[in-house]
């Protein structure tokens, strides 16, 4: 009997506390609703009333990435200022494959982003011509000319993309290791590069490292492009002239010599990202890669390196010098069928210029898109003077991955050459048979 009474009391207390908890929750939720509802009224100076307009933006970033955080902040600020909501769907890199079917199926999307060449070329039929909007807003002055020219070249002079987060490529090196080896000047020719490598090797470090795949493709791509230029390399790739052009063998001999002389680390070419990480482990001095590599190495190894940069050197009798480089960017597209093109443009402008652009550059140690933002993140600042002087832009891997039907054979031959399984003659022979 006593037990039953005790149980009743316990049940009663529990029920009462549950009711109180429920009331408390209701009260607090009411108060929070009241607060949020009252925000526009009480804070009308900084918060514009909602216009009811919502723009949908399919983003190439994942919500956890540094770029995403800056973009989300920019969208929130834009909404606060204009009352226009930017509904961001973080699709990740697969937006490249998803965007066309979605738009063809009538999905309401106003903005998407991807590699700027992809938008200018493959997705251009979905992208609105922004030439006039860019001109009216004076945005072109803030854009890197080399990117604008490349983007326009795909659409008869029309601009269909607004580039942001540009990248460049070249040799990233550890300044301290250069100093220890007594190197005072960065190499400008391939012969000078070999001298630098010899000095670094003498000082007890690996001069260079590289990864299989993009790493080795960049090495061979740059060397070929220095001899032949971008058009010459594309001619090789598209017309299979590997056996007819003598510079192919020269370039292969040069790259082979880097490995044969022991100027590459013993593990190179490594499986990505082991090669580039060797710089983070303090074993290797240089790596040829795009400007995202300092950030990647820091993320992977936690190393804090004083980064230096120089463009891939020129070669004797070559077509291009250090004024040519592999550059690129991400880009924004405004969807052709969007009802809110101007609004979309205004939002994009807030992301690719001024403070937000600088914040994004600092967040992931990338190059600012806005030319007015002269303060580059320290890790990539070494590339700034060369980037601004650059007049010729190469395709990714200088176009060696351009032909889907035999890019894998080219890559295989490059990897074999770098692993010294074949020499320069073997390299030419293996590609001549394609």
Partner 1 sequence: MKGVFHLKKDKKMIVCFLTPAVLMFFIIFLYPVVRTIAMSFFRVEGVSDAVSTWEFIGIENYVTLLQTPIFLDSMKNMLKIWFFGGIVVILISLLFAAILTNGLYGKTFYKTVIYIPNIINAVAMATMWITAIFNKRFGFLHNFFDFFGSDLAKVDYMSGSAKFWSLLAAFCFGSVGYYMLIFMGGIERLPLDMYEAATIDGASKTKQFTRITLPLLRGVMKTCLTFWSIGVVGFFVWSQMWSAPLASELSTTTPFVYMYNITFGTQGNTFRNAAMGATVGVLMALTVLVVFFLINLLIKDDDVEV
Q: Which residues bind partner 1 (CB under 8 A)?
A: 96-97, 100-101, 104-105, 115, 117-118, 121-122, 212-214, 217, 267, 269-272, 274, 395-397, 399-409, 411-412, 415-416, 419, 421, 434
Least distance between partner 1 and beta carbon 54 (Å): 24
Nearer to partner 1 by Cβ, of 217 and 380: the residue is 217
In the structure encoding, which two tokens stand for residue 285, read together?
Answer: 């001095």
Residue 238 CA from chain centroid, whole number: 26
Nearer to partner 1 by Cβ, of 43 and 408: the residue is 408
Peptide bond into 269 cis (omega under 30): yes
Least distance between partner 1 and beta carbon 319 (Å): 21
Tell me, what DSSP letter sits at residue 281?
A: T
Least distance between partner 1 and beta carbon 411 (Å): 7
| CB neighbourhood size of 237 (10 A) | 23
Q: How far apart are CA 312 and CA 290, in angstroms?
A: 11
Secondary element (H or E) of residue 150: helix 145-153
Nearer to partner 1 by Cβ, of 413 and 424: the residue is 413
Integer CA distances (angstroms), 197 to 7, 175, 192, 284, 359, in order = 84, 14, 9, 11, 36
Nearer to partner 1 by Cβ, of 123 and 171: the residue is 123
Nearer to partner 1 by Cβ, of 88 and 400: the residue is 400
In the structure encoding, which two tokens stand for residue 366, read together?
Answer: 């990338």
Least distance between partner 1 and beta carbon 364 (Å): 17
Tell me, what DSSP letter sits at residue 92?
A: G
Nearest alpha-carbon partner for 276 in 252, 301, 256: 301
Least distance between partner 1 and beta carbon 401 (Å): 3
Nearer to partner 1 by Cβ, of 267 and 386: the residue is 267
Q: How far apart are CA 261 and CA 2, in angstroms?
A: 93
Q: How far apart are CA 182 and CA 187, in angstroms?
A: 13
Nearer to partner 1 by Cβ, of 375 and 412: the residue is 412
Nearer to partner 1 by Cβ, of 276 and 350: the residue is 276
The separation between the first and the last C-alpha atoms of the chain, rounded to the nearest angstrom, is 95
Least distance between partner 1 and beta carbon 395 (Å): 7
Least distance between partner 1 and beta carbon 102 (Å): 8
| Alpha helix stretches (DSSP H) within 186-290 | 190-202, 214-239, 246-260, 274-280
The Cα diameter of the chain in Å comes to: 106
Least distance between partner 1 and beta carbon 104 (Å): 4
Q: What is the CA radius of gyration of the chain?
A: 27
């Amino acid at each position: 009997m006593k037990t039953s009474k005790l149980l009743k009391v316990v049940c009663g207390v529990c029920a009462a506390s549950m009711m109180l908890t429920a009331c408390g929750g209701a009260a607090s939720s009411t108060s929070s609703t009241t607060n949020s509802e009252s925000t526009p009224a009480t804070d009308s100076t900084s918060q514009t009333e909602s216009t009811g307009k919502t723009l949908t933006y399919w983003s190439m970033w994942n919500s956890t990435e540094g770029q995403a955080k800056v973009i989300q902040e920019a969208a929130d600020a834009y909404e606060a200022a204009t009352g226009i909501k930017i509904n961001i769907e973080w699709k990740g890199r697969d937006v490249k494959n998803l965007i066309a079917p979605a738009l063809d199926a009538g999905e309401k999307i106003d903005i998407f982003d991807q590699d700027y060449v992809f938008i200018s070329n493959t997705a251009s039929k979905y992208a609105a011509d922004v030439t006039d909007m860019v001109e009216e807003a004076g945005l072109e002055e803030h854009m890197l000319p080399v990117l604008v020219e490349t983007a326009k070249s795909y659409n008869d002079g029309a601009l269909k993309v607004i580039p942001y987060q540009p990248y460049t490529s070249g040799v990233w090196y550890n300044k301290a290791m250069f100093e220890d080896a007594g190197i005072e000047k960065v190499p400008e020719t391939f012969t000078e590069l070999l001298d630098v490598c010899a000095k670094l090797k003498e000082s007890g470090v690996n001069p260079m490292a590289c990864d299989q795949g993009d790493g080795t493709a960049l090495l061979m791509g740059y060397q070929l492009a220095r001899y032949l230029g971008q058009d010459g390399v594309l001619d090789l790739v598209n017309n299979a002239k590997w056996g007819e052009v003598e510079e192919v063998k020269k370039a292969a001999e040069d790259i082979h010599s880097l490995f044969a002389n022991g100027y590459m680390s013993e593990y190179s070419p490594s499986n990505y990202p082991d090669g580039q990480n060797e710089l983070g482990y303090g074993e290797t001095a240089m790596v040829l890669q795009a400007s995202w590599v300092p950030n990647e190495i820091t993320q992977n190894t936690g190393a804090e390196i004083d980064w230096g940069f120089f463009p891939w050197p020129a070669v004797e009798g070559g077509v291009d010098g250090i004024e040519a480089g592999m550059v690129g960017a991400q880009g924004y597209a405004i969807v052709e069928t969007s009802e809110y093109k101007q609004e979309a443009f205004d939002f994009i402008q807030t992301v690719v210029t001024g403070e937000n652009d600088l914040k994004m550059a600092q967040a992931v140690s990338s190059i600012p898109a806005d030319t007015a933002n002269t303060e580059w993140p320290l890790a990539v600042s070494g590339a700034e003077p060369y980037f601004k002087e650059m007049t010729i832009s190469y395709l990714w891997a200088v176009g060696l991955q351009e032909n889907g039907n035999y890019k894998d054979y080219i890559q295989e031959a490059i990897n074999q050459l770098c692993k010294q399984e074949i020499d320069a003659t073997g390299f030419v022979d293996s590609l001549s048979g394609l």
